[in-house]
Structures are given as C-alpha cells and as structure tokens.
Amino acid sequence: MLRRATSFTVAVALASLGACATSATPTQVVPIAPTAAPAAPRAAAPPARPAPPPVGFRLPTSVLPLAYRFALTIVPGNDVIQGDGEIDLERSARATPDDAIYLNAHELDVESATLGTTPLTVTPAGKDVIAFQPTDPATTLPTGRATLHIRYKARVHHEDTQGAFAQKIDDSWYTYSHFEPIGARRLYPSFDEPQIKVPWQLTLVVPRGLTAISNMPVATQADEGELTRVTFEPTPPLPSYMITLAVGPFELVDAGKSPHGAPLRVAVPKGHAEEAAIPAEETAPILATLEAYFGTPYPWAKLDMVPIPDTVGFGAMENAGMITYSARVLLTKPEERTIRDKQKFASYAAHEMAHQWFGDLVTMAWWDDL
C-alpha cells in the first residue's frame, strides 16, 4: 500500500543514509547478474492453407488423368473393398500453385494419399468431390506429370446395384459392379466423367478358387497364400463408367469366337452352366452379323457375358468386353426354355453388342447424349 511520507519519516531516512556513509563496516558488494541476451525472433509460422473452394458437377480441367492402375482386394460377402490406386496425372501450366487436385468420390474412406513423395491432405469439396492438397502448407503442387497414389476403402452395397455390390446365389456370394451413369466414384476416386478416356489396368486380389473377370483378358495370375492376385491387361482408352468387374465361383461356358478370333464366354454361377445354352449358341452369329453391318471387327480382345440375379434400373449394360445382363435375360432352365427366351436374348444381345462399337468405341461427350 502506498503511503504519503511525513517530515519525520523523511528526516529519519536522511539520518540513516548519513550513518551508513560514515560506518566503519566494510561495504559489501552484491554481484549483478549479467543481462540475458535478447531472444532471437521466432520465424513466423507459414499461413495456414485455405480450404479448397467447392466445385460444381463438373471437375476443373487444369488437372487431367493419363492412366489409372487400381488393385482391389475383394472378398465376396464382405462389406468393404480395400483399394490401392495410382493415377498418372498431368497438371497444366495454367493451374496456380495452390490449386487442389479434385476427384469424384462417393462414400470412400481415403486412408492416405501422396503425389510422388509429397503427402497430401484430403478434404470434401462439393457433392461427390474430394480435394487433395499438400499436407505441408509451405509446399505447392508442381505442374507437369506426376503420379497420385491413394489408399482407401470402398463400401460394398447390398440394397442397390450401383457401384460395387454383392448378391448371394444358392450358398455362395458374388461381387459385381455397375457404374453407368455415375457409379464408378463409389469404387474408385476418379475423374468420373464420360468425355475423359484413358487406359485402365485392374488387379483383383480374391480368395483362392474364385474367378475374377473384367474388361480385358488376364495378363498374370499368382497365388499369395489364401488369396490370388489377378492382373488384367491394360484397356484401350475408356471412360470410368465402362470399367467393370465380377468375382465369384463362376463356371465359364464357351460361346465360340468372333469372326476375327476374340473368345466369347458366358460366366454363370456355380451349378448353372446348363442354363446358358441360348447365349452359348447365339452370341457368335449375332456378333458376326454386327461385324458385317459395321464393316469393322469387334473392337475388344474378348467378350464375357455375366448374369446378375437382381438388377435395379437396368436390364443389361454394355461394359467394353464384359456385358452384364439380368439373369432373366441370359439364363433359362432347360425344361422351361421357349422360342420367346431365344427372341428375348437376341433382342438384348444385339442391342448391347452394337454398343461395343457405338457407345464403347465411339463414346458420348456428356451425359445429355445418353
């Protein structure tokens, strides 16, 4: 508490000072601690990177894919597919250093992502869109070519037939896919737009003893313990919605060859091979008629036909090199087979096989041409 000094206290204080000055007691010197050097100024932390702006239905075109390579671990009946993807990209010179990389994705759990060796952070950026930015705010994205690596999990659907979905036939589970129009983003983080056509290469890691099918013939196959790694040949340039797969204990029924030698098969559920008699007999003649009509060979390396027990919103789909059908179109029990079953198959098959030229080889620029 601060008090006002009186004249008496001032006098006492002065007398005390005088006494100290004439005292015989030696003066004690109290060492003074050296003054600490001023702390070096801290480097200013780099400003936090702003969140990427959301985008609309179409992705920006400053970054485009050159090729996809995806390895998917699929166990039919499981609710999750483990994905490991590589996307070769080209980032144009008109992209600013802070521009994010945008991909379509729906219900995908991205576990890690890198561009080359640069760690990336993933954030939502609109409906069915995710954005990738360097985790370090001081790092910028380079222009030119680089490879985006993504490790993620995808959901397997049971209630509908978009994306990857599973169905049980007799006592066995089967996994299928259907992507048109925008279902590919449910299985792959990708540029899920029809005008973007680049090569795809799929590897499916599946339980031993199961058959894996996709757009292209098998390039390599090797057992890895209880699993089998099946790598398919790269596709010609294709849009995302045309890439497809099927995994299960299929029986493969020979359906002949196209006039130019492409093998034709029907992949039926285990124990149902005798139900594939109509497509086994009629596919090659229909394809030969179409080759003659178009005046150019069937454009893909092979053709598999895969029946799906329950389809929602489609009866068949013209995936390049692997057409999926409602099982009611493709399979008939011998004792129930009629001429109408043959006519129904011919009608669907001629339509879907014609799409292998117009629809697959020649594709639409956007969905308003669907």
Per-residue pLDDT of the chain in tens (370 residues, 90 and over written 9): 443 444 434 333 333 433 343 334 444 444 444 555 555 566 555 566 778 888 888 999 999 999 999 999 999 999 999 999 999 999 998 877 678 999 999 999 999 999 999 999 999 999 999 999 999 999 989 899 999 999 999 999 998 999 999 999 999 999 999 999 999 999 999 999 999 999 999 999 999 999 999 999 999 999 999 999 999 999 999 999 999 999 999 999 999 999 999 999 999 999 999 999 999 999 999 999 999 999 999 999 999 999 999 999 899 999 999 999 999 999 999 999 999 999 999 999 999 999 999 999 999 999 998 8
First to last CA, the chain: 88
**Please, which residues have CB within 8 angstroms of residue 55's CB and are 6 or more apart in sequence?**
102, 125, 126, 129
How many Å apart are CA 249 and CA 172, to the nearest integer?
A: 8
What pLDDT, in 10s, does the model give residues 7-65? 434 333 333 433 343 334 444 444 444 555 555 566 555 566 778 888 888 999 999 99
pLDDT in tens, 127-157: 999 999 999 999 989 899 999 999 999 999 9
Pick the CATH number of 250-370 from 1.20.58.100, 3.90.1660.10, 3.80.10.10, 1.10.390.10: 1.10.390.10
Q: How far is CA 352 from CA 81, 322, 345, 359, in A?
A: 28, 10, 10, 9
Q: Is 2.60.40.1730 the CATH classification of the domain at 57-248?
A: yes
The answer to whether 134 and 120 have CB atoms below 8 angstroms apart is yes
The letter for the amino acid at 73 is: T
Q: Please say whether the beta carbons of 235 and 217 come within 8 A.
A: no
3-state DSSP call for residue 151? Answer: strand
CA angle 180, 197, 186 (to 5 degrees): 40
Active site annotation includes 336: no
Beta carbons of 137 and 102 less than 8 angstroms apart: no
Rounded to the nearest 5°, which phi and psi values hold at 60? -60, 155
Cα 208 to Cα 199: distance, rounded to the nearest angstrom: 28
What the block records as the tokens of 184 is 């590919």
CA–CA separation, 215 and 179 (whole Å): 13
Closest CA to 152 of 224, 89, 101, 104: 104
Encoded amino acid at 359, one letter = G
CATH 1.10.390.10 in the chain is located at 250-370
Q: How far is the C-alpha of 7 from the C-alpha of 14, rounded, in Å?
A: 11
Q: How many CB atoms lie within 10 A of CB 290?
A: 19
The tokens describing 266, both together, are 């029907």
Angle (deg, nearest 10), helices 277-294 and 339-355? 40
Cβ neighbours, 10 Å, residue 41: 6
Q: Which residue has the tokens 């992705």?
A: 59
- The rounded distance, in Å, linking the Cα atoms of 163 and 177 is 5
Which entry of 180, 193, 291, 352 is annotated as an active-site residue? Answer: 352
Location of each CATH 2.60.40.1730 domain in the chain: 57-248
Element (H, E) at 110: strand 108-115
- Predicted local confidence at residue 322, as pLDDT: 98
Tokens 């010609």 appear where?
A: 236
Please list, in sequence order, all residues whose beta carbon lies within 8 angstroms of the beta carbon of residue 111, skipping any fewer than 6 positions away. Answer: 151, 152, 153
